[in-house]
């Protein structure tokens, strides 16, 4: 799950757990690059029996959001801060995921082509950050590389390399008809082609649907949720999904309606995705 309150949103997470009859096994939160390592908040997640996923975004939420940050990363100008993250997370010692610079093939972040970031610059920045964690012998972090569905370019051009990625991720949303240019799409239409592309890049990596949501307009959200979980059960290398339980561009939440929540609860009762 990802909810607006992040790692410490116990009430939000419990509300979803109550609605679907199962507590989340992964909790994802978004972090400003310059924020301190969220160790206390991550500890709350592990105390609740889940694993934290840190979506570490290489920009400053309250200041300069220019692509210059990626160049600063590559040049080593931000190494002290990266060393702090590596030191503190390594010392903490519990397992966590870092999803660094996600949705790089979209057009809404400065680490994307419209923001001035090329694939080679992205790969160089990713490797530099990862290398610092390796230098500090941080063994309790798995790195998630997560494009978005429908993005531009060839994903392989953005891939940092097998030794730099532990989990292949992908973000995708069924926008339904809530946008003038969007249409209702099935889970297979949404994820089928990109999953094949990910497998062509790395055949032996686990895959995580790192963000997913479904709009209400344009079809039955309850039926879509049921078919989504059924579709994932057929993908033997997909290890799970993170539902984006936010009201943002539209109401993406599982519990947006009683019918949608009931559909997820039913799907979760009989699926291999529940351990």
DSSP 95-135: -EEEEES--TTSSSSTTSGGGT--HHHHHHHHHHHHHHHHH
For position 67, what pLDDT does the model report? 61
* Alpha carbons 124 and 220: distance in angstroms, whole number: 43
How high is the pLDDT of residue 183?
A: 96
3-class DSSP state of 244? strand
d(CA 99, CA 130): 11
Domain spans of the chain, in order of start: 6-269
Please say whether the dihedral angle defined by the alpha carbons of residues 255, 257, 263 and 265, taken in this order, is positive or negative.
positive
The pTM is what? 0.95
Q: Which residues contact 202 (CB under 8 A, 6 or more apart)?
A: 159, 162, 165, 168
**Residue 249: HSE in the Cβ half-sphere, 13 Å Cα cutoff:** 13
Both tokens assigned to 134: 């390796």
Q: How does pLDDT run along the chain (275 residues), one tens digit per residue?
A: 999 999 999 999 999 999 999 999 999 999 999 999 999 999 999 999 999 999 999 998 876 666 668 899 999 999 999 999 999 999 999 999 999 999 999 999 989 999 899 999 999 999 999 999 999 999 999 999 999 999 999 999 999 999 999 999 999 999 999 999 999 999 999 999 999 999 999 999 999 999 999 999 999 999 999 999 999 999 999 999 999 999 999 999 999 999 999 999 999 987 644 44
Class of the 6-269 domain? alpha beta
């Amino acid at each position: 799950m990802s909810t607006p309150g992040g790692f410490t949103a116990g009430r939000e997470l419990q509300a979803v757990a109550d609605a679907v009859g199962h507590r989340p096994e992964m909790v994802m939160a978004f972090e400003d690059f310059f924020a301190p390592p969220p160790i206390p908040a991550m500890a709350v997640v592990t105390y609740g029996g889940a694993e934290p996923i840190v979506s570490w975004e290489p920009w400053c939420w309250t200041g300069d959001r220019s692509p210059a940050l990626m160049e600063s990363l590559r040049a080593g100008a931000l190494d002290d801060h990266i060393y702090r993250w590596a030191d503190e997370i390594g010392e903490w010692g519990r397992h966590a995921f870092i999803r660094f610079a996600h949705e790089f093939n979209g057009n809404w972040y400065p680490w994307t082509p419209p923001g001035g970031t090329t694939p080679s610059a992205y790969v160089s920045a990713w490797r530099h950050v990862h290398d610092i964690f390796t230098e500090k012998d941080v063994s309790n972090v798995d790195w998630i590389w997560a494009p978005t569905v429908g993005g531009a370019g060839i994903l392989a051009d953005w891939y940092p390399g097998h030794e730099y990625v532990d989990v292949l991720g992908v973000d995708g949303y069924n926008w339904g008809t809530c946008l003038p240019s969007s249409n209702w799409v099935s889970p297979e239409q949404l994820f089928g082609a990109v999953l094949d592309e990910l497998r062509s890049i790395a055949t032996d990596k686990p895959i995580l649907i790192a963000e997913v949501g479904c709009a209400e307009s344009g079809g039955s959200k309850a039926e879509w949720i049921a078919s989504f979980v059924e579709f994932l059960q057929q993908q033997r290398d997909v290890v799970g999904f993170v539902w984006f339980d936010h009201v943002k561009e539209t109401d993406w939440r599982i519990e947006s309606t009683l019918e949608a929540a009931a559909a997820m609860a039913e799907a979760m009762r009989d699926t291999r995705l529940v351990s």
